[in-house]
């Protein structure tokens, strides 16, 4: 048992550092740092070999409690001079070391940090923003690792399946007749392209208002672009797609750059309209409806002759009323989804993501059924659907009426207070 333990432990300690060493051969300083640590671990093993037997032989009454300190102190004596020489060089290295120590402490910090990320950390204004960013990197790293492992497992499984299949095919090896070649993905793409072109000509416009770039942090902007990408994808796959407009899209603005970065080559082949102009210049003002959760007007039905505008705005800083202010300024009609009417809202804001909006609007366009469309509202935000049947409505109204009547017989307050 003790042998087994010792083995597993030494493996866990050496492995991470060995892993560290490989991708960072370029950074000399780092390599020195880790190799010294590695050295320490290696060297510390040698004097301590005899130690465990000593501890186990000592009688339980007088426990040897301070012995470990000697090994801890003595084990690294030789590597101290190199450590102190690099000690106070620059804050960057110091930060890197601090993060390394935090990692040893079990804090949520990443294992590897690039120079660029380190610079971002140094630029963070406050301690908590540093911690937040480190946690973000940590989670990112973990996800990446998990993905990597999954990938490897999948590859192994595939390999195995292939071998099995190979065995089978060699056994049977018979010809089969097919109607189609396996070119499904390409065919689907072409079909969607045709539909998209059709939508460009005859489709109902749906506008994304890109004028919010200066209300957002870079992080929020990236999220917005992700959501835009996703909504465009949902639209492309629909039977009857919208004709998407990206309005107020400043050329070389942050939105534009991020979109080009994400779409790459495809950007110029997208079947949607991008323009620097505003929607009020493109469409008649009275057919525009600005969708915003702050609107006092509730959307009752999807109208096929209206132009709906969705603000491409992820608001993590809580600036309520920004889009409503915009619509007010341009004197546009506003509407919000009838979430309260159909759903028992539980938690979360009524602001939905862009792709959810897109799916809801597509569903409304095709079926006009609110229950069906509001399936795309995240389930965590509500507890279920409300049924507004005629009967219960009338019942509640009746009760309300009788109640107000009772408490105010002739509108007199005195009687009311007496009754209490």
Site string for another protein, 360-399 (x = CB under 8 A): -----------------------xx-x-----x--xx--x
Output the smallest distance, CB 354 to another protein, in A.
22
Euclidean distance between CA atoms 420 and 417, whole angstroms:
5
Alpha-carbon dihedral sign for residues 167, 171, 173, 176:
negative
Cβ 29 vs Cβ 93: under 8 Å: yes
- Binding range to another protein, per CB under 8 A, among 145-153, 164-172, 200-208, 263-271: 145-153
Alpha-carbon dihedral sign for residues 233, 235, 239, 245:
negative
Identify which of residues 300 and 407 has a Cβ nearer to another protein in the complex.
407
Element (H, E) at 385: strand 382-385
Output the smallest distance, CB 157 to another protein, in A.
12
Which of 27, 142, 147, 160 forms a contact with another protein (CB under 8 A)? Answer: 142
Applying the rule CB under 8 A, the residues between 314 and 343 that interact with another protein are 321-322, 324-326, 328-329, 340
Should residue 139 be labelled a site residue for another protein when binding is judged by CB under 8 A? no
Euclidean distance between CA atoms 395 and 397, whole angstroms:
5
Which of 6, 119, 237, 277 forms a contact with another protein (CB under 8 A)? Answer: 6
Cβ 79 vs Cβ 39: under 8 Å: yes
Cβ 96 vs Cβ 112: under 8 Å: no
Please state the φ and ψ torsions of residue 293, each to the nearest 5 degrees: -70, -20
Site string for another protein, 20-59 (x = CB under 8 A): --------------------xx--xx-xxx-xx--xx-x-
Output the smallest distance, CB 315 to another protein, in A.
13
Which of 4, 12, 266, 390 forms a contact with another protein (CB under 8 A)? Answer: 12
Which of 29, 86, 166, 298 forms a contact with another protein (CB under 8 A)? Answer: 86
Our CA angle for 191, 194, 196, nearest 5°, is 110
Owner of token pair 């009788």? 402
Identify which of residues 140 and 328 has a Cβ nearer to another protein in the complex.
328
Q: For residue 43, give the 3-state DSSP assignment.
A: helix
H helix intervals, 75-183: 80-85, 91-104, 115-123, 127-172
Should residue 145 be labelled a site residue for another protein when binding is judged by CB under 8 A? yes
Should residue 407 be labelled a site residue for another protein when binding is judged by CB under 8 A? yes
Site string for another protein, 106-125 (x = CB under 8 A): x----x--------------
Q: Which two tokens stand for residue 73?
A: 């102190």
CB atoms within 10 A of CB 108: 14
Which of 17, 112, 267, 408 forms a contact with another protein (CB under 8 A)? Answer: 408
Output the smallest distance, CB 89 to another protein, in A.
10
Site string for another protein, 161-200 (x = CB under 8 A): ----------------------------------------
Applying the rule CB under 8 A, the residues between 255 and 314 that interact with another protein are 296
Which of 345, 351, 353, 366 forms a contact with another protein (CB under 8 A)? Answer: 345
Alpha-carbon dihedral sign for residues 287, 292, 293, 295:
negative
Selection from 203, 216, 197 nearest residue 315 by Cα:
216
Burial of 91 (0-12, 13-18, 19+ CB in 10 A): exposed
Which of 14, 139, 143, 153 forms a contact with another protein (CB under 8 A)? Answer: 153
Q: Is 264 left (phi over 0), alpha (psi -120 to 50) or beta?
A: left
Should residue 144 be labelled a site residue for another protein when binding is judged by CB under 8 A? no
Identify which of residues 92 and 282 has a Cβ nearer to another protein in the complex.
92
Applying the rule CB under 8 A, the residues between 225 and 244 that interact with another protein are none
Which of 76, 192, 270, 280 forms a contact with another protein (CB under 8 A)? Answer: 76
Q: For residue 255, give the 3-state DSSP assignment.
A: helix
Identify which of residues 2 and 264 has a Cβ nearer to another protein in the complex.
2
Q: For residue 66, give the 3-state DSSP assignment.
A: coil
């Amino acid at each position: 048992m003790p042998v087994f333990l010792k083995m597993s432990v030494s493996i866990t300690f050496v492995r991470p550092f060995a892993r560290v060493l490989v991708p960072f051969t370029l950074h000399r300083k780092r390599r020195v740092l880790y190799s010294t640590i590695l050295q320490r671990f290696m060297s510390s093993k040698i004097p301590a070999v005899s130690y465990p037997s000593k501890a186990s032989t000592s009688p339980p009454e007088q426990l040897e409690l301070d012995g470990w300190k000697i090994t801890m102190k003595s084990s690294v004596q030789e590597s101290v001079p190199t450590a102190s020489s690099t000690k106070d060089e620059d804050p960057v290295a110091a930060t890197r070391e601090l993060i390394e120590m935090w990692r040893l402490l079990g804090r949520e910090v990443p294992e590897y940090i690039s120079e660029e990320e380190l610079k971002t950390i140094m630029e963070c204004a406050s301690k908590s923003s540093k911690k937040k960013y480190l946690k973000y990197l940590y989670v990112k790293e973990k996800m990446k690792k998990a993905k990597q492992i999954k990938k490897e497992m999948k590859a192994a499984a595939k390999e195995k399946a292939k071998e099995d299949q190979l065995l089978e095919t060699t056994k049977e090896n018979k010809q089969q007749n097919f109607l189609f070649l396996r070119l499904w993905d390409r065919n689907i793409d072409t079909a969607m392209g045709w539909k998209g072109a059709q939508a460009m000509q005859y489709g109902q416009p749906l506008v994304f208002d890109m004028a919010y770039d200066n209300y957002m942090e870079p992080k929020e902007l990236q999220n917005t672009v992700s959501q835009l990408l996703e909504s465009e994808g949902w639209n492309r796959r629909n039977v009857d797609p919208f004709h998407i407009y990206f309005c107020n899209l400043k050329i070389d603005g942050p939105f534009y750059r991020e979109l080009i970065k994400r779409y790459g080559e495809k950007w110029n082949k997208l079947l949607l309209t991008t323009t620097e102009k505003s929607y009020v210049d493109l469409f008649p003002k009275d057919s525009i409806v600005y969708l915003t959760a702050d609107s006092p007007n509730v959307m009752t039905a999807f109208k096929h002759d209206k132009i709906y505008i969705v603000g491409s705005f992820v608001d993590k800083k809580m600036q309520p009323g920004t889009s409503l202010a915009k619509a007010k300024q341009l004197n546009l009609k506003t509407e919000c989804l009838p979430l309260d009417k159909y759903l028992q809202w539980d938690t979360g804001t009524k602001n939905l993501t862009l792709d959810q909006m897109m799916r809801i609007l597509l569903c409304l366009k095709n079926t006009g059924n609110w229950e069906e469309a509001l399936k795309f509202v995240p389930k965590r935000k509500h507890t279920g659907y409300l049924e507004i049947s005629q009967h219960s409505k009338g019942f509640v109204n009746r009760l309300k009426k009788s109640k107000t009547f009772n408490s105010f017989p002739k509108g007199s307050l005195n009687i009311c207070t007496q009754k209490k």
